[in-house]
Chains A and B, each alone.
Chain A
Amino acid sequence: MAQKTPEIYSVELSGTEDVGKTDTGDGKEKYRGLKDKRLELKKNHQKEELKKEVDLEDHKLSIKELERKYGTNIVTGLSSTQAAELLARNGPNALTPPKETPEIVKFLKQMVGGFSILLWIGAILCWIAYGIQYFNDKSSSLDSVYLGCVLALVVILTGIFAYYQEAKSTNIMASFSKMIPQQALVIRDSEKKTIPADIRLLSTQGCKVDNSSLTGESEPQSRSCEFTHDNPLETKNIGFYSTTCLEGTATGMVINTGDRTIIGQIASLASGVGHEKTPIAIEIEHFVHIVAGVAVSIGILFFIIAVSMKYYVLDSIIFLIGIIVANVPEGLLATVTVTLSLTAKRMAKKNCLVKNLEAVETLGSTSIICSDKTGTLTQNRMTVAHLWFDNQIFVADTSEDHSNQVFDQSSGTWASLSKIITLCNRAEFRPGQESVPIMKKVVVGDASETALLKFSEVILGDVMEIRKRNRKVAEIPFNSTNKFQLSIHETDDPSDKRFLMVMKGAPERVLEKCSTIMVNGQEQPLDDSTAEAFHTAYMELGGLGERVLGFCHLYLPADKFPETYSFDVDTVNFPTSNLCFVGLLSMIDPPRSTVPDAVTKCRSAGIKVIMVTGDHPITAKAIAKSVGIISANSETVEDIAKRLNIPVEQVSKRDAKAAVVTGMELKDMSPEQLDELLTDYSEIVFARTSPQQKLIIVEGCQRQDAVVAVTGDGVNDSPALKKADIGIAMGIAGSDAAKNAADMVLLDDNFASIVTGVEEGRLIFDNLKKTIAYTLTKNIAELCPFLIYIIAGLPLPIGTITILFIDLGTDIIPSIALAYEKAESDIMNRKPRHKKKDRLVNAPLAIYSYLHIGLMQALGAFVVYFTVYAQEGFRPSALINLRVEWEKDSVNDLEDSYGQEWTQYQRKYLEWTGYTAFFVGIMIQQIADLIIRKTRRNSIFQQGLFRNKVIWVGIASQIIIALILSYGLGSVSALNFTMLRPQYWFVAVPHAILIWVYDEVRKLFIRLYPGSWWDKNMYY
């Protein structure tokens, strides 16, 4: 870095304005830009580097050193030429947008992914076959060309469909670049302004910034020029890019811009994190491999058989195509997509917005949730939680609407306390919100004052009116040196001409100024025992992780301070000691009321909830306890040590179920130690963690083979959100970066919505199993005809086009309908599935579908086929080895079993009738298949035959589509359908009933003998 010439340039993003212009009109704040290239990282080490802690040292340097380092002057700044030069070298102050995969690549991926490649091979084989045919005989039929085109069309259409579905749901990381252009640099009229780059502060005036998007701390942080902490994220003399300045003014020097800012580093960290395949994508890939493996091996096997049976190679190729088409469930992947998007829609209604369709299922297999605290588990606003007066701690209602304040309000102390709370408060409601509920009103003021204002408004009514009646005559605002706030008011009692002085502040400071204490409305001298009681209460509330404020007042004697007395806050011409202590009030960002229940539900669903927060360990632990992340009866090592009064080292780690780990401790841990930590403790809270550490925690969980969900809202969470198997961002509080890195957005920021999501995710996994089992079954019924055709020489029982009509026609709606099936048992009471053991398509599923139901279906469909041929004149025995003569165009007098003679077209028509019959046979049995797939374990009658209405829509659609194909399009010869006699529609019914009965028996034995041989082999 020494060789680089640091220069100052204007902070204006466009780089076109010169230095003078940054001295903005009101002169409240000046920025001088500096460029620092220290953080330029070697590309190949980038990721490793990024995983280290944020590396910044400028906050430790003095101003002089800074000037030297950047070769600039804090008064005059950079010359415009230097600035331009630097801009050219370092680029504008903007984040590099992440590289996007080109759309065309995404599209092509859809075109060759999954089964598409098999179908492409099929299509190309078709065209090759035609080419050979055409070469031999110019008049050969175009059938194979059509088939090739149809196959290509199927691939292209399903590809477009999948691409469209995906395009609809992906826009990851797009808004990182959107959040960049910030031209306004100056803080005016206390409106929030975003800091345009990382700056080292040179001079400040009551400056407070909101770092919540970066660190997750919900409270505004004061900024000053002093270096206060080694960690750049904690020190007070650095202002960060994209954080907002809430109040005060500051002047600073730009030390980092664009990608080199802390936010920029996090952003590139997020985009650098590889997004692994979702569990469902892995499952589907596994399934595609199984099916493709079966298809290719049967195809090649029969190709060899056909060739060795002296079939022409050309014919063998056509058989191969038929086998591939029969084996590939063309419609299934589209069905899965639709099923997932249906669930996604259902989840969106329940406030889980799914960005990445596959994430729908991921949530269901989640085994660890790493939850952020602020905003997710908590309401993200300070709220009065406890009060202490009259030597008693009172609990305030911290629920979202504060409606249920039950503490004793009859005491005189409360009357005084409430007056102090109301009067000693600078926060005000924004005007024009009369119709808004109190808790939702926008307040101008800091978080604690807002909490107090709302608290008093709820209990006392119109605070503004009370303040009006008690006119303020003087005020000392809060500052960090005296740590109290004081104001003097006229009283609203017209007979009482005294002034009321009210004060609030850090409890110990306030107590110092008091000589009396109010108990039950009576002033009493402050003795040791009351002071002791105060300290106990203070420690107790502090131990709950709450921020405690002390309140006191003093009625100024009317003789010394007449009505006309002029108070001067600079000389303090009024007493500030010997006040009367009234009470304590503690505030916390309280947990959302729905969270404890949701955490319990996660527990019973076998999901481990880990809290990861940037907040203090005490607060984190308190919240963790109150929401049940640390359950009531479990202790940390420290708790045990404290209880037994022994050093922490002596406590056996086995005894502790819970652990609170800080970022500092985590920093010194090896991955093995982290693994140990994650496995040993069931209840873990990580506090004071940095974004990089969140990432390390997520990785640690993933090493346990867990499917990890991460919730978060800040920019700092985005790398972890991306790394997680499923990242969940907060919709209301969440930053754009978090939302973009996430797979799912909780619209109501409510942790409880995750539980709904888990339930839906688990259900969809079960239902996808059913859908796939349903779809795979008929593949055997479609495949057997080809095998029999090759081996026994029957006229082809079902055509390739007809197969496509089943796969993409009659079967589509029923298989989607299975997505609407209700759960068979309480899915929230079982463990999350093991991502390597509980497969979507397992051996029993494939075997049961292919070799049991599939085979029964094939037999049933053959019965229909043989019936049609027999009743038209060709008995089954006559069909054997008839293939060659049957297919010859020149044979126009083929004799049937009765001596009648058939022309080629008459036979062809009969063949199509056979296709239609076989098709109807499969369709009828698929209805039975659909019904049996409603459950995997329970009887259909337990599940209720009519509970899922969509199934019946599916059945109706199957029948209607088949009727249309047969009777409506029966005359279109290209489709190979004919009008089938009505009675043939019922031939397969006995087999359909057999399928149902057989499956009921299977389920019965599974229920009767759990864990038995039958259960192991027959339950899928």
Chain B
Amino acid sequence: MVIQKEKKSCGQVVEEWKEFVWNPRTHQFMGRTGTSWAFILLFYLVFYGFLTAMFTLTMWVMLQTVSDHTPKYQDRLATPGLMIRPKTENLDVIVNVSDTESWDQHVQKLNKFLEPYNDSIQAQKNDVCRPGRYYEQPDNGVLNYPKRACQFNRTQLGDCSGIGDPTHYGYSTGQPCVFIKMNRVINFYAGANQSMNVTCVGKRDEDAENLGSFVMFPANGNIDLMYFPYYGKKFHVNYTQPLVAVKFLNVTPNVEVNVECRINAANIATDDERDKFAGRVAFKLRINKT
């Protein structure tokens, strides 16, 4: 015969809990006496203190292996990615021409983004460099920093510079400018000493049709070698990233157009299966007109 398990009544359970929390006979609080609790707390204080110290020490040792100026490894960044401005949540530039609010946020972002490119600031901080060749500033044994950066003037962006532009980078007229930038990678000699440029196409045939014509600034979407190599945030304090502006002139309205821009450079592969942004950028463009 199965022995019936003694079922505890609710009251007993409460009673047991009470006794567990405070046992007046043994002066135990939660199963331990005061001294025992003191011991335990002291122990964990010391033990965790020691562990924290140990962790801090190892982290400190580890950080000693890392240079302040250049990362130890850059294997993940062999191919720089491309990105667009204005930066939007899903990489889509949607412009309702009649609805100012729809593009005003883009304009605000672009204004802010392009502010460092103002000619005055550039002239004040950066050098005028010789185009067509890398602007190398080797350390030659002694640390040589801050390193100088080359000027990229806002005016180089032509119609897309937004200077004195009543159309707000073309957003108010349905001819928006989208800026393409290439990700910064330290000590990367983009283009391998040959000139390079950005080209944009519609992704599929119908996209190409709907895309219509566009102009690029600087001309042909060129990116000059003088902006390379990049020496890192700490060395290259005033580094100004080169940009390519694309002004879409007659996009078919009310249609979503998939645009893909890629860089044509000798040492940048743009066909990575997994990384859809390696040397290229795809975005959606939609101009809504009523």
Contact A902/B1 with A863-B55, A890-B88, A892-B83 known, Cβ cut-off 8 Å: no
CA distance A901 to B39 in the complex (A): 51
Asked if B47 lies at the interface with its beta carbon under 8 angstroms from chain A, I say yes
Determine the main DSSP class of A at the interface with B.
helix
CA distance A905 to B233 in the complex (A): 22
Asked if A950 lies at the interface with its beta carbon under 8 angstroms from chain B, I say no
Asked if B265 lies at the interface with its beta carbon under 8 angstroms from chain A, I say no
Contact (Cβ within 8 A) A901 B233: no
Asked if B36 lies at the interface with its beta carbon under 8 angstroms from chain A, I say yes
CA distance A900 to B36 in the complex (A): 54
Contact (Cβ within 8 A) B277 A892: yes
Contact (Cβ within 8 A) A1013 B1: no
Contact (Cβ within 8 A) B40 A994: no
User: What distance in Å separates the Cβ of A128 from its nearest Cβ neighbour in chain B?
Assistant: 24
Interface residues in A, total, Cβ within 8 A: 50
Among the listed stretches A177-185, A488-496, A578-586, A868-876, which one makes contact with chain B, having 4 or more residues with CB under 8 Å of it?
A: A868-876
Contact string against B for A residues 276-300, beta-carbon threshold 8 Å, 1 for contact and 0 otherwise: 1000000000000000000000000
User: What distance in Å separates the Cβ of A900 from its nearest Cβ neighbour in chain B?
Assistant: 5
Could you say which residues of chain A place their CB within 8 Å of the CB of B106? none
Contact string against A for B residues 40-66, beta-carbon threshold 8 Å, 1 for contact and 0 otherwise: 100110011001001100110011011
Contact (Cβ within 8 A) B183 A901: yes
Contact (Cβ within 8 A) A899 B275: no
Contact (Cβ within 8 A) A987 B76: no
Contact (Cβ within 8 A) B62 A873: no
Extra inter-chain contacts (9) besides given A875-B63, A899-B234, A981-B73, CB under 8 Å: A699-B1, A699-B3, A863-B62, A893-B183, A898-B234, A900-B71, A900-B183, A903-B277, A991-B58
Contact string against B for A residues 885-928, beta-carbon threshold 8 Å, 1 for contact and 0 otherwise: 00000111101111111111110011000000000000000000
Contact A870/B81 with A859-B51, A890-B90 known, Cβ cut-off 8 Å: no
Query: B interface, how many residues as a size bin?
Result: 35 or more
Contact (Cβ within 8 A) A703 B274: no
Contact (Cβ within 8 A) B91 A906: no
User: What distance in Å separates the Cβ of B184 from its nearest Cβ neighbour in chain A?
Assistant: 5
Partner of A863, one of B47, B58, B72, B74: B58
| Closest A residue to B75 using CB positions | A872
Contact (Cβ within 8 A) A905 B236: no
Asked if B93 lies at the interface with its beta carbon under 8 angstroms from chain A, I say no
Could you say which residues of chain A place their CB within 8 Å of the CB of B239? 899
User: What distance in Å separates the Cβ of B237 from its nearest Cβ neighbour in chain A?
Assistant: 10
Could you say which residues of chain B place their CB within 8 Å of the CB of A871? 65-66, 71-73
Could you say which residues of chain B place their CB within 8 Å of the CB of A904? 277
Could you say which residues of chain B place their CB within 8 Å of the CB of A856? 51
Could you say which residues of chain A place their CB within 8 Å of the CB of B58? 863, 990-991
Asked if B13 lies at the interface with its beta carbon under 8 angstroms from chain A, I say no
Residue among A51, A273, A859 with the most chain B CB within 10 A? A859
Asked if B89 lies at the interface with its beta carbon under 8 angstroms from chain A, I say yes
Contact (Cβ within 8 A) A898 B233: yes
Instruction: Enumerate A200-242 residues with CB–CB distance to B below 8 Å.
Output: none
Could you say which residues of chain A place their CB within 8 Å of the CB of B234? 898-899
Contact (Cβ within 8 A) A859 B71: no
Contact A987/B62 with A898-B232, A1013-B36 known, Cβ cut-off 8 Å: yes
Asked if B269 lies at the interface with its beta carbon under 8 angstroms from chain A, I say no
| Closest A residue to B239 using CB positions | A899
Residue among B40, B47, B184 with the most chain A CB within 10 A? B184
User: What distance in Å separates the Cβ of B53 from its nearest Cβ neighbour in chain A?
Assistant: 11
| Closest A residue to B47 using CB positions | A852
User: What distance in Å separates the Cβ of B26 from its nearest Cβ neighbour in chain A?
Assistant: 14
Contact A892/B230 with A901-B183, A991-B58 known, Cβ cut-off 8 Å: no
Contact (Cβ within 8 A) A903 B278: yes
User: What distance in Å separates the Cβ of A755 from its nearest Cβ neighbour in chain B?
Assistant: 28
Asked if B276 lies at the interface with its beta carbon under 8 angstroms from chain A, I say yes
User: What distance in Å separates the Cβ of B233 from its nearest Cβ neighbour in chain A?
Assistant: 3
Could you say which residues of chain B place their CB within 8 Å of the CB of A852? 47
Contact (Cβ within 8 A) A893 B76: no
Could you say which residues of chain A place their CB within 8 Å of the CB of B91? 890
Could you say which residues of chain A place their CB within 8 Å of the CB of B278? 903, 905
Asked if A410 lies at the interface with its beta carbon under 8 angstroms from chain B, I say no
CA distance A902 to B79 in the complex (A): 10
User: What distance in Å separates the Cβ of A505 from its nearest Cβ neighbour in chain B?
Assistant: 47
Contact string against B for A residues 687-703, beta-carbon threshold 8 Å, 1 for contact and 0 otherwise: 00000000100010011
Asked if B263 lies at the interface with its beta carbon under 8 angstroms from chain A, I say no
CA distance A798 to B73 in the complex (A): 21
Asked if A411 lies at the interface with its beta carbon under 8 angstroms from chain B, I say no
Contact (Cβ within 8 A) A906 B81: yes
Contact (Cβ within 8 A) A906 B71: no
Contact (Cβ within 8 A) B54 A901: no
Contact A902/B76 with A702-B3, A990-B58 known, Cβ cut-off 8 Å: yes
Could you say which residues of chain A place their CB within 8 Å of the CB of B48? 855
| Closest B residue to A139 using CB positions | B90
Contact (Cβ within 8 A) B81 A873: no
Contact A872/B277 with A863-B58, A902-B183 known, Cβ cut-off 8 Å: no
Contact A893/B81 with A859-B55, A973-B274 known, Cβ cut-off 8 Å: yes
Partner of A870, one of B55, B63, B276: B63
| Closest B residue to A890 using CB positions | B91
Listed by A's residue number, 18 A-B pairs whose Cβ atoms lie within 8 Å are A274-B1, A703-B3, A859-B55, A866-B62, A871-B71, A872-B71, A872-B76, A873-B73, A876-B59, A893-B81, A898-B70, A901-B80, A901-B81, A905-B277, A973-B274, A981-B73, A994-B54, A1013-B39
CA distance A337 to B183 in the complex (A): 54
CA distance A695 to B1 in the complex (A): 8
CA distance A702 to B91 in the complex (A): 73
Contact A898/B83 with A867-B62, A871-B73, A905-B277 known, Cβ cut-off 8 Å: no
CA distance A867 to B77 in the complex (A): 18
Asked if A68 lies at the interface with its beta carbon under 8 angstroms from chain B, I say no
CA distance A703 to B2 in the complex (A): 11
Smallest CB-CB A-B distances: 9 pairs: A899-B233, A903-B81, A901-B183, A905-B275, A873-B71, A274-B2, A871-B72, A903-B277, A893-B83
Could you say which residues of chain B place their CB within 8 Å of the CB of A859? 51, 54-55
Asked if B215 lies at the interface with its beta carbon under 8 angstroms from chain A, I say no
User: What distance in Å separates the Cβ of A277 from its nearest Cβ neighbour in chain B?
Assistant: 11
User: What distance in Å separates the Cβ of B102 from its nearest Cβ neighbour in chain A?
Assistant: 18
Asked if A47 lies at the interface with its beta carbon under 8 angstroms from chain B, I say yes
Asked if B147 lies at the interface with its beta carbon under 8 angstroms from chain A, I say no
Could you say which residues of chain A place their CB within 8 Å of the CB of B185? 900-901
User: What distance in Å separates the Cβ of A1016 from its nearest Cβ neighbour in chain B?
Assistant: 9
CA distance A981 to B75 in the complex (A): 11
Asked if B154 lies at the interface with its beta carbon under 8 angstroms from chain A, I say no
| Closest B residue to A703 using CB positions | B3
Could you say which residues of chain A place their CB within 8 Å of the CB of B80? 901
CA distance A851 to B69 in the complex (A): 38
Residue among B44, B74, B81, B272 with the most chain A CB within 10 A? B81
Contact A902/B62 with A702-B3, A872-B71, A873-B71 known, Cβ cut-off 8 Å: no
User: What distance in Å separates the Cβ of B42 from its nearest Cβ neighbour in chain A?
Assistant: 11
Could you say which residues of chain B place their CB within 8 Å of the CB of A872? 71-74, 76
Could you say which residues of chain A place their CB within 8 Å of the CB of B74? 872-873, 900
Could you say which residues of chain B place their CB within 8 Å of the CB of A851? 44
Asked if B178 lies at the interface with its beta carbon under 8 angstroms from chain A, I say no
User: What distance in Å separates the Cβ of A373 from its nearest Cβ neighbour in chain B?
Assistant: 25
Could you say which residues of chain B place their CB within 8 Å of the CB of A862? 55
Contact (Cβ within 8 A) A898 B69: yes
Asked if B148 lies at the interface with its beta carbon under 8 angstroms from chain A, I say no
Residue among A875, A900, A991 with the most chain B CB within 10 A? A900
Could you say which residues of chain A place their CB within 8 Å of the CB of B274? 905, 973
Could you say which residues of chain A place their CB within 8 Å of the CB of B281? 892
Instruction: Enumerate B196-231 residues with CB–CB distance to A below 8 Å.
Output: 230
Contact (Cβ within 8 A) B62 A900: no
CA distance A915 to B277 in the complex (A): 23
CA distance A873 to B272 in the complex (A): 22
User: What distance in Å separates the Cβ of A142 from its nearest Cβ neighbour in chain B?
Assistant: 16
CA distance A112 to B245 in the complex (A): 60
CA distance A871 to B65 in the complex (A): 8
